[in-house]
Amino acid sequence: MKIAIVHDWLVTDAGAEKVLKAICEIYPNADIFSLVDFLSDQDRANILHGKYAKTSFIQKFPLAKKHFRNYLPFFPKAIESFDLSAYDLVISSSWAVAKGVKTNKRQLHICYCYTPIRYAWDLYDEYTSNLKQPKKLFVQMTLAYIRKWDLATLDRVDYFIADSHFVAQRIQKTYKKDSHVIYPPVDTQRFHLIMQKEDFYMTASRLVPYKKTKLIVETFNQMPDKKLVVIGSGEEYEEIKKIANANITVLGYQNNEVLIQTMQKAKAFVYAAIEDFGIVPLEAMACGTPVISLNQGGTAETVIDGVNGIHFQEQTATSIIDAVKRFESLQFHAKEISEQTQHYAITRFKNEMEMFINLKMKP
């Protein structure tokens, strides 16, 4: 059986790449396709075990390495340019356009969907509201084209797998399609339990607006007696570093070793984003660290209030401050928190994926 794995783009080692890595380990002989592949040697070794993806024409566009997202209008044609006719099974790993690869009736196409295209659907207003003309008109026209194409290519997918019940609802609302939920893999071996915690909170994510890290920093500015460590890089890094008070340490990008050590020592992990699933909070829980998170999206499914963390209801400083106060009034058991994350382990993900695919491969 010939297998193709199609991933939107390969530029960093983030949550979707953890899923991709596990899928590639299930099917080590599969060929990998991606719009672009600009992985570092270290990330390539970790995610793809040294393999290179077969890329689209966007790979060779000017300044593509840093600015490939600017070629969004070309994404549909680029993903359709892959000739997958020789493959029996196509697995798309999709949060953008990978689900739209061309397939035929002889092939089985299973899409592991992290979300329908975020900037074309649920975050459309957030992406377009602050733009000025004529750029705003161009972006709106592009996203209208992306939406139309996104719906027109639905029949290329035989089965959808959602990474959370939250995303399954979004797939149903946007695509009017049912999906099977398989939670992403969490490396519970690497992110392992440390019982002794220290007196600081932490957060870690890409520093982009929808992650709401700036909100967390502004909130802890109002709690000068509580220490916060921020790990991550992105467009908001300089602004966050500038506004952070003395009780907040902004470390920027850190390697996995530093990230894990910080997670293991933190008294709690704070997270304010509406996530499709949210692997990072679960990595913190695998370390025995409780999570203070928004009661929406993926973290509403994985964080159990009063058991392995605390929920807050709104993306506001007041709501987060109240949650921190409630957290400090309760006791949490690091070992139990860590043990609960075994439900999300890598072996569980691989088994569920392989069982689902084998079932659908049967004539």
**pLDDT computed for residue 130 by the predictor:** 79
**pLDDT computed for residue 125 by the predictor:** 82
What 3-state class would DSSP assign to 250?
Answer: strand
Residue 232 near residue 252, CB atoms below 8 Å = yes
State the CB neighbour count (10 A cutoff) for residue 150. 21
- 242 Cβ contact partners less than 8 Å away, ≥ 6 residues apart: none
Say if residue 362's pLDDT is above 80: no
* β partners of residue 228: 201, 248
Quickly state the pLDDT bin for 251 (edges 50, 70, 90).
very high
Point out the least confidently predicted range of 135-139, 310-314, 318-322, 338-342. 135-139
**Cα 263 to Cα 202: distance, rounded to the nearest angstrom:** 7
Q: If you average pLDDT over every residue of the chain, what do you get?
A: 95
Say if residue 286's pLDDT is above 70: yes
pTM: 0.91
Quickly state the pLDDT bin for 126 (edges 50, 70, 90).
confident
* β partners of residue 93: 7, 112
**pLDDT computed for residue 70 by the predictor:** 93
Residue 88 near residue 1, CB atoms below 8 Å = yes
**pLDDT computed for residue 135 by the predictor:** 85
Architecture of domain 201-344: 3-Layer(aba) Sandwich (3.40)
For range 183-198, the mean pLDDT: 94
For range 232-251, the mean pLDDT: 96
Helix H or strand E encompassing 135: helix 135-152
Q: Is the dihedral of CA 300, 301, 305, 310 positive or negative?
A: negative
**pLDDT computed for residue 132 by the predictor:** 86
State the CB neighbour count (10 A cutoff) for residue 197. 17
Residue 274 near residue 250, CB atoms below 8 Å = no
Per-domain residue ranges for the chain? 3-185+345-361, 201-344
**CATH class for the region spanning 3-185+345-361:** alpha beta
- Counts of helices then strands in the chain (DSSP H, E): 15, 13
State both tokens at 133: 């003309």
Residue 317 near residue 215, CB atoms below 8 Å = yes
pLDDT in tens, 88-104: 999 999 999 999 999 99
**pLDDT computed for residue 363 by the predictor:** 66
Residue 6 near residue 90, CB atoms below 8 Å = yes
pLDDT in tens, 34-50: 999 999 999 999 999 99
Task: Strand 31-34: give its sheet, edge to edge.
Answer: 54-55, 31-34, 3-7, 89-94, 108-113, 159-162, 180-181
**pLDDT computed for residue 131 by the predictor:** 80
> Residue 256, Cα to own-chain centre: how many angstroms?
16
Residue 288 near residue 338, CB atoms below 8 Å = yes
| Percentage of residues in the chain having pLDDT higher than 70 | 99
CA distances from 239 to 54, 193, 195, 330 (A): 37, 33, 34, 33
Assess whether the region 3-185+345-361 and the region 201-344 belong to the same CATH fold: yes
Point out the least confidently predicted range of 53-57, 124-128, 201-205, 332-336. 124-128
